Amino acid sequence: MAMTARDPVCGMMVDPAEAPAKSEHQGRTYYFCAPGCKQAFDREPEKYVQPRRRCCG
């Protein structure tokens, strides 16, 4: 089974081994489906690494 990662900008699932872009932030590697998502992340990483709030909880 191939490992997948979620692009933090658009939410798309990507294969880290074949991701067209990646960035390091606070010791963690993030993988992206396209260079545009990486550029958005690199401009404002805190916007994308904040835990998402779940409904009703």
Per-residue pLDDT reduced to its tens digit, 7-53: 999 999 999 999 999 999 999 999 999 999 999 999 999 999 976 66
Identity of residue 6: R
Please state the pTM of the whole predicted model: 0.82
R_g of the chain computed on alpha carbons: 12
Distance CA 34, CA 19 (A): 8
Phi, psi dihedrals of residue 43, rounded to the nearest 5°: -70, -40
Q: Is residue 35 part of a domain?
A: yes
Q: Is residue 16 part of a domain?
A: yes
Q: Is residue 55 part of a domain?
A: no
- What is the domain count for the chain? 1
Q: Is residue 57 part of a domain?
A: no
Q: Is residue 56 part of a domain?
A: no
Q: Which domain holds residue 15?
A: 5-49
CATH of the domain at 16: 2.30.170
